[in-house]
Amino acid sequence: MASSSIDQIPSAAETLTSQLPSDNTPTSVEPIPSSDSHPTADVPMASSSIGELTSVAETLTSHLPSDISSAPVEAVGEKRKRDDEKTNLESSDPNLTPSPWWKTSLCSYFRRQGNCSHGSTCRYAHGEEELRQKPDNTWDPTSERGKKAKMSENAGKCDAEEEEREVLFTEDMMDENDGEEGCGDSVHDLSLSKCLVHLPRKWQSDDLKKFIGELGVEFKFAKKRRGMMVGFLTFENAEQLQSGVETLEGKAVGHKNLKIADVLPRATEKNQTKNPAKIKSAREAVTPLADLSYADQLEQKKASMMQWLKKLTRNARKACPNGKSLPEWVLQSREIGGLSCKLEGIIESPVRNGYRNKCEFSAGYSVEGKTTVGFLLGNFSAGVTAVEEPVDCPNISKIACRYASIFQTFLENSRLPVWNKFKNFGFWRQLTVREGRKPGVISNGEDAETSIAEAMLIVQVCTTGTDEAEVATEFEEMAKAFAEGAKASSPTLPLTVLLVQDHQGISNVAPPDCPLRLLPIPMSDNETTNQDQPTNVLAEARIHDHINNLRFSISPTAFFQVNTGAAEKLYSLAGDWADLGPDTLLFDVCCGTGTIGLTLAHRVGMVIGIEMNASAVSDAERNAKINGLSNCKFICSKAEDVMSSLLKEYLDVSQMEEAKPPSNANDDLDKQISSTEEMSNSEPVDDQSLPTPNIHEEHQNNEQKDSSSSEPERSTKLQFKNVVAIVDPPRPGLHPDVIKALRTHPRLRTLVYISCNPETLVANAIELCTPSFLEKAEQGNNGYRKQRRMGTAASARHRAKKMPASEPFRPVKAMAVDIFPHTDHCEMVMLLKR
Peptide bond into 732 cis (omega under 30): no
**Cα–Cα distance between 171 and 383 in angstroms, integer?**
12
Q: Is the CB of residue 317 less than 8 Å from the CB of residue 543?
A: no
List C-alpha distances in Å: 778 to 317, 334, 801, 808.
Answer: 21, 33, 9, 21
Q: Is the CB of residue 128 less than 8 Å from the CB of residue 145?
A: yes
Return the ∠ at Cα 745 (arms to 613 and 808), rounded to 5°. Answer: 105
Q: Is 770 left (phi over 0), alpha (psi -120 to 50) or beta?
A: beta
* Residues flagged as binding site: 561, 611, 728
**Cα–Cα distance between 676 and 487 in angstroms, integer?**
40
Nearest CA to 307 out of 759, 732, 751, 753 is that of: 759
User: How do 371-376 and 358-365 pair as beta strands?
Assistant: antiparallel
Q: Is the CB of residue 502 less than 8 Å from the CB of residue 463?
A: yes
Q: Is 345 left (phi over 0), alpha (psi -120 to 50) or beta?
A: left
Q: Which amino acid is at 271?
A: N
* Residues flagged as binding site for S-adenosyl-L-methionine: 561, 611, 728
Instruction: State whether residue 431 is helix, strand or coil.
Output: strand
Catalytic residue, chosen from 183, 632, 756, 826, is: 756
Return the ∠ at Cα 357 (arms to 355 and 361), rounded to 5°. Answer: 105
**Cα–Cα distance between 591 and 560 in angstroms, integer?**
10
Q: Is the CB of residue 105 less than 8 Å from the CB of residue 126?
A: no
Q: Is the CB of residue 646 less than 8 Å from the CB of residue 608?
A: yes
Cα Dmax for the chain = 140
Output Rg (C-alpha) for the chain, integer angstroms.
Answer: 39
Backbone angles phi, psi at 216, to 5 degrees: 75, 25
What are the beta bridge partners of residue 586?
607, 724
Residue 364, burial from CB neighbour count under 10 angstroms (0-12, 13-18, 19+): buried
Nearest CA to 396 out of 487, 286, 294 is that of: 286
Rounded to the nearest 10°, the torsion over CA 631, 636, 640, 646 is -30
Residue 598, burial from CB neighbour count under 10 angstroms (0-12, 13-18, 19+): buried
List C-alpha distances in Å: 668 to 360, 614, 636, 651, 672.
Answer: 37, 16, 11, 19, 7
Q: Is residue 756 annotated as part of the catalytic site, yes or no?
A: yes
Which residues have a Cβ under 8 Å from the Cβ of 443 and sit 6 or more positions away? 351, 450, 451
**Cα–Cα distance between 209 and 221 in angstroms, integer?**
9
State the DSSP string of 311-336: HHHHHHHHHSPTTSPPPHHHHGGGGG
- Is the sign of the CA dihedral 680, 682, 686, 689 positive or negative? negative
Q: Is the CB of residue 53 less than 8 Å from the CB of residue 37?
A: no
Q: Which amino acid is at 808?
A: P
User: How do 497-502 and 452-461 pair as beta strands?
Assistant: parallel
Residues annotated catalytic, as ranges = 756
